[in-house]
Structure 1
């Protein structure tokens, strides 16, 4: 509306002072020049909402203006309409109008020269290019810049959205990893504590109670050590491993910040956590793990055996595979302590066809004595660990050849370097 008002007002001023674009005689003189000017000013109000209509009507209005004395305001408003038709029109119109005006700019002087053999008529072609091809080309350039800026903005928004999605997925993956580590590191000790504390409460026997309390204390200390190692990994406060840099990981950095001042496990008053967070466990520690399970499962009539069928059990495996295999065995032994019937729990390791196979079988059936409750998170954690390594996992009851039923956990982990993630 401002452009239309300014164009109309300027045209009226030019007409009032007698400035016209055409000086020779025309069929329509005088106030007739105001009619095309008014129409062009009205078209300016539609330049964005109906660009194709305004450029067609504006072209016809400009042609009609040639039969009057003409007005510079009419010509200037036409150039703005041509510019707006390219800038606000459809993409097809934005491509066609510059080419069309270029052809008109070339065709007009050629036609005039062939009709009127005078060189000065070439100026008409220049004038035609200035009021049509020039504005159309300018509109195309501005439109291309705007489209490029909009595309860049959309790409930036998509990049930010993808980055946020990646961040959320990374946070969820890290939380799941921490949940698996926490469950696998502590559940074994807490299960033993639950079973033996129940036995101590249900059996009125001093020797049984003392044995149960001994197992409870050992598992409490070891569970606390595992928790402190996990906290050290999460805090990552350097080699001291303590929350405030103390030499033994205790709350005040003192020499005896453990639970009772004893020497065991480095968490209750011994040397402490002087070496920082412990390294990831490997399959070499399975003997220790089974020895602990034998101690915890003796009262339930459980025995534990390791059958390592690997040709070279000292062969180094990828760290993620070693950790996953160790945690699967650890969780399987924990589940056996909770639910297995009296008998022998067998852990079997084998390397075949580029994969490490972990197989843990335990007797299935009724068992005497107390049981520790289970939540099912252990099986979920094992399945997730195997999935991260692109392996195969199965767990469930299996009937053997002699008709007995066992609970079998089987995991096949690729051992090729770079397979899967930790």
Structure 2
């Protein structure tokens, strides 16, 4: 349907028009060679009008009708009907033009009052002529349908290309959102721990060089966290929910995470090994983010990490007490808790957080142990 053009279609339009007019003139010459000048003039007008069939096909048909009445033309009326049918969708108009052309061809000329035998023959000739005029109309409609179908197929292909491009953009957006979450959960966790430890060393060190080195480390860590915050914000601006990336930590890594958190944290509870891998990752990230926030916003406070299982659900609750000293002015991306809520929703779970009655803070997540 959308292949290369045929040999006839590659011929320039003026050359085709000239060829068609020449054939029509030859046909008309045979039909009006013994006729009067008015009849020859009408035939010549019909032949010349074919050059305009692409622009005003209906006018060309109407100009051909008088010549068809006075002469037995073949090429001009059929070419005019084909041009009209190729460019118009109105089937009533096409049918009326075919009937009009057949009537003009079957009408007796010169006009006289025919007897009953002549009238019967005229009707028979009209029926045969109507079949002849219907042929170019049907063929023109077929050509038009083929052209419309080719155009429609091209539009469908273009739409599919656009859909594929949108799908690729959506995949890229999800990957960016996932990358942003992983950057916040993994990289900022480590950098914030460096900043906290450097701040503690800066306060407790007695050697001037050690304090200066600790100050430099802390400053660089704070600047790095600030850059990470900007990068995460940019990635999330074009991202959405995403699939998990590998490799990822599991429940087996939580004990080490608590032990190396740099705060006084206690781990209680045990979860079964049958918990799905996505649920294990979500629980690990929840503990990681909660302990990071304790270090940043509640220095000196202890924390409790409680793993629990209720029916078909598993979860973790991390609570911390009131801070015992002022927190360091570390920048926050404000995306950590958002990411935890997104993880829980992806796994058809729930996430909650908020202050506790004793002035601390609590974070809890509940997730089905197995995918729904």
Q: TM-score, normalised by structure 1?
A: 0.63
Take 2:249 and 2:20, find their aligned partners in 1: how far apart are those partners? Answer: 83
Q: Which among 2, 14, 31 is matched to residue 20 of structure 1?
A: 31
Distance in 2 (alpha carbons) for counterparts of 1:164 and 1:333? 41
Which residue matches 1:334?
292
Matched with 1:87 is 86
Give the deviation of 1:377 after TM superposition.
Answer: 3.3
1:159 and 2:113 equivalent? no
Q: 1:46 to 1:358 in 2, by over 3 A?
A: farther
- Report how far residue 158 of structure 1 moved: 1.0
Residue 82 of structure 2 corresponds to residue 125 of structure 1: no
Q: How does 1:245-256 map to 2 (within 5 A)?
A: none
SS of equivalent residue, structure 2 residue 302 = strand
Matched with 2:256 is 288
Q: What is the SS of the residue equivalent to 2:364?
A: strand
Query: 1:98: Cα distance to partner?
Result: 5.8
Q: Secondary structure at the match of 1:405?
A: coil
Deviation at 1:317, TM superposition (A): 2.1
Are 2:360 and 1:411 equivalent residues in the alignment? no
Answering whether residue 334 of structure 2 is matched by residue 380 of structure 1, we say no
Question: Which residue is 2:355 aligned to?
Answer: 398
Using the alignment, how far apart are the partners of 1:346 and 1:390 within structure 2? 25
User: Which deviations, in whole Å up to 9, do the C-alpha atoms of 1:44-103 show, x marking residues without a partner?
Assistant: 355344444544x24xx42x33553x263xx422222212222212x3x1x335655787
Partner of 1:34: 40
For 1:20, what is the secondary structure of its paired residue? helix
Whole-angstrom CA distance in 2 between matches of 1:338 and 1:113: 113
Task: Find the counterpart in structure 1 of residue 234 from structure 2.
Answer: none
- CA distance in 2 between counterparts of 1:392 and 1:82 reads 71
Q: Could you tell me which of 92, 96, 100 is aligned with 1:96?
A: 92
Pick aligned residue for 1:305 from 266, 272, 283: 266
The partner residue of 1:359 within 317, 320, 324 is 317
The answer as to whether partners of 1:390 and 1:414 remain within 8 angstroms in 2 is yes
The 2-side partners of 1:12 and 1:128 are apart by: 23
Structure 1 contact 332–360 (Cα < 8 Å) conserved: yes
Gaps of 5+ in 1: 24-28, 221-276, 298-302
Give the drift of 1:156.
0.8
- Displacement of 1:37: 2.8
TM-score, scaled relative to structure 2: 0.70
Equivalent residue pairs, number = 320
Q: Which of 1 and 2 has higher RCO (CA within 8 Å, sep 6+)?
A: 2
- Check the 8 A contact 1:386/1:392 in 2, yes or no: yes
- Corresponding residue for residue 169 of structure 1: 170
* Deviations 1:343-390 (CA, angstroms, capped at 9, x unpaired): 332223334464433332223556346464322232333233234334
After TM superposition, give the deviation of residue 165 of structure 1 in Å.
Answer: 1.0
151 and 315 in structure 1: CA distance in 2 versus 1, 3 angstrom threshold: same
* 2:8 matched residue in structure 1: none
Query: Do 2:98 and 2:130's aligned partners in 1 also have CA atoms closer than 8 Å?
Result: no
Quote the Cα distance in structure 2 between the aligned partners of 1:102 and 1:399.
89
Structure 1 distance, partners of 2:351, 2:157, is: 41
Taking a change above 3 Å as real, the CA distance of residues 327 and 10 of structure 1, as seen in their structure-2 partners, is: same
Query: 5+ residue gaps in structure 2?
Result: 1-12, 107-113, 222-244
Q: Is the 8 A contact 1:338 1:373 kept in 2?
A: no
Distance in 1 separating the partners of 2:252 and 2:189 = 18
In structure 2, the residue matched to 1:316 is 274
Deviations 1:267-318 (A, max 9, x none): xxxxxxxxxx98432123222211112xx12xxxxx212343x7xx224122
C-alpha distance in structure 1 between counterparts of 2:267 and 2:179, whole Å: 28
Partner of 1:188: 189
Are 1:321 and 1:415, in contact at CA under 8 Å, matched by a contact in 2? yes
Alignment partner of 1:47 is 2:53: yes
